[in-house]
Amino acid sequence: MPMEKPKMFGKDDEINVQSVHKKLNEIMAARGKKGTDRKEQIELLHELMNVSDENNLGPAIRIKIQFNIIMSIYDYNPSVSDPMKVELWDKVLIKINELLDMMIAHPDLVIGEHITEESESLETAPLLVRGCALTIVERMDEEFIKLLKACDAHSNEYIVRLRDEIRVCAIIDKLLKYEEENGMPSDICRIYLRKIEHLYYKYEPRAAKQAVGEIPKTDDTSVEEMDRLCKYIYVRDNTDRLRTRAVLCHIYHMSLHDKWYEARDLMLMAHLQETIHHSDLPTQILYNRTMVQLGLCAFRHGNIREAHNALLDIQSGGRAKELLAQGLLPQRQHERTTEQEKQEKQRQIPFHQHINLEMLECVYLVSAMLIEIPYMAAHEFDARRRMISKSFHHQLKNSERQSLVGPPESMREHVVAASKAMRNGNWKQCRNLLLNDKMNSKVWDLFHEPDRVRTMLGGKIQEESLRTYLFTYSHVYDSISLIKLSEMFELLHGTVHAIISKMIINEEIMASLDEPTSCLVMHRTEPSSLQSLSLQLADKLYNLVENNERILDQKPFFARGMQGGGYRDRREKGSWGERRDRRDQRRDRD
């Protein structure tokens, strides 16, 4: 049996704007109360809309009813954390589209939260309606994210739901156009940020082609659009949060499109490193994601040290997955409560925005290898040698502990095996371990221009292997030919000359270049391994004597027979510092 439509007005009742508005207030008065049938409330509002249309009561009352229909659909879901039902989601998208079409069709009608219920004008010009379309669209965007998180990321359902992003973005664009013509700067900033958050993580091949000159500069790409939207927020926004998020999204998008210098300069100018810990958690997650993308961009450009520094904080604790909000890690010390776990899950980002964690770890470990291996070779006998990357050393130690090391299988094993090959000066084996079919499918093919990355990495391995070779074996040579080094490492003569010149300038090796013979002449000033160990022993003994004397100075002494004891008068033999100076002078004379 078809459901009977609910009766709104009696047969003889006069239907006008006031009576419809009164009826609307009666229906909405029950909103949120215990025992209210939410489904019936939506049906009543639809019937009221039909009554308004049949009697041609004007656009103002229609827009007001439409606002309330949308809010009632949102209210239908009792739990804020749970996603909407799919049929209600489709319905709310249609209703929001209808509402925006009504608003655009009547530009003289003023809508805003600043209008009070008393000052509303639904019949006479100027038409004033209380409501905020921006709040409705922001809520729609949040519901869309909830729907995505509720789906299994590897199912067809996720892809079907993700297709709705086109409809969501179309609604945001429609409201954006309306706000640009009629809205306040603060509202325009809010809708611009919604647009930015749907745009910043997407790679556009056209923008990459434009950068190399394949597409004319006049063509509009996502990079130009991001630039325009973000610059408006920088100038007009009064709240720190919107500006901070806009800056981070802007840096992320530029990093994604290989604009390394612009992204790095904007990050340095924003000074976010000092203030980000005061921000809310979603903004801190966005900061972590941006730093990771900046590090990957630096790596693609061959700036290995910058890439390592950018990824260090994320990778050093082994909590990259949690810091990027891409999943929860089990806690060792204490279990999460149900409420904490619920909050953590709400903060997770949708699967299509994830950054590949294996690629991220590989880039970090390779960057650490290219910095750490030459450093270890240069400071082999240095007692004060510090660790640059703890996680890289952890991987090396794990490998050394194993009694039997087989051929590398995982990504980490490939990097460790490559590090050992580089340590021995075998650059070809190092390159083959990092650049092979298995590593290509796991990591390097995930980059947008994989061939360029592989070429860059191959060159870096050759250069750093040359440096490592010189650090390790310089004590064996009296002189070595640059031409021979160039042939050994398959590098251009000019590149070898530049690398060695830089090492001499930075006093990394004690040598000089003999230009006529193209030779590197060693000065033999570095101590041998036995001399280095002797110097370390002398340093440790010297520190032991100093500590002993310092402790002796602080302790009271007692005379023989326990008579007349007390604290030693330091003036008798001079202060500890004076005695140390005298001892140093005696040692210098000897």
Instruction: Specify the pTM.
Output: 0.84
- pLDDT at position 82, please? 81
- Yes or no: is domain 1-183 CATH 2.60.40? no
- pLDDT at position 126, please? 80
Q: How far is Cα 143 from Cα 333, in angstroms, rounded to an integer? A: 34
Looking only at the bridges linking them, the beta strands covering 519-522 and 128-130 are unpaired
Task: Answer whether 480's CB lies under 8 Å from 514's CB.
Answer: no
Q: What is the pLDDT of residues 96-107, one digit of tens each?
A: 999 999 888 888
Judged on CB neighbours under 10 Å (0-12, 13-18, 19+), 458 is: middle
- pLDDT at position 7, please? 58
Judged on CB neighbours under 10 Å (0-12, 13-18, 19+), 376 is: buried
Distance of CA 441 to the CA centre of its chain: 24
**How many Cα neighbours within 13 Å face the side chain of 3?**
8
**How many Cα neighbours within 13 Å face the side chain of 432?**
6
DSSP 557: B
Q: Can you read off the two tokens belonging to residue 201?
A: 């993580």
- pLDDT at position 6, please? 52
Q: Is 481 helix (H, G, I), strand (E, B) or coil?
A: strand
Q: What are 428-431's contacts with CB under 8 Å, separation 24+?
A: 430/461, 430/465, 431/458, 431/461, 431/462
Q: How far is Cα 35 from Cα 328, in angstroms, rounded to an integer? A: 38
Strand partners, 112: 130
Backbone angles phi, psi at 204, to 5 degrees: -110, 115
DSSP 564: S
- pLDDT at position 183, please? 82
Task: Answer whether 191's CB lies under 8 Å from 132's CB.
Answer: no
The C-alpha angle 43, 37, 21, rounded to 5 degrees, equals 50
Q: How many residues would you count in the chain?
A: 590
Q: Can you read off the two tokens belonging to residue 396?
A: 């090396």
Evaluate the CA torsion angle 441, 444, 447, 448 in order and state its sign.
Answer: negative
Give the residue ranges of the chain where pLDDT is below 70: 1-13, 35, 332-334, 381-384, 525-528, 555-580, 587-588, 590
Evaluate the CA torsion angle 366, 394, 468, 384 in order and state its sign.
Answer: positive
Task: Answer whether 99's CB lies under 8 Å from 136's CB.
Answer: yes
Q: Beta-carbon neighbour count of residue 491 at 10 Å?
A: 21
Domain positions in the chain are 1-183, 220-327+350-355, 529-589
Distance of CA 187 to the CA centre of its chain: 27
Task: Answer whether 129's CB lies under 8 Å from 115's CB.
Answer: yes
- pLDDT at position 8, please? 65
Closest CA to 86 of 37, 29, 3, 143: 143
- pLDDT at position 12, please? 58
Closest CA to 215 of 164, 257, 265, 167: 257
- The gap between the terminal CA atoms of the chain, to the nearest Å, is 114
Q: How far is Cα 543 from Cα 546, in angstroms, rounded to an integer? A: 5
In the block, which residue shows the tokens 């050994």?
Answer: 488
- pLDDT at position 580, please? 67
Alpha-carbon radius of gyration of the chain: 35
- pLDDT at position 417, please? 92
- pLDDT at position 295, please? 95
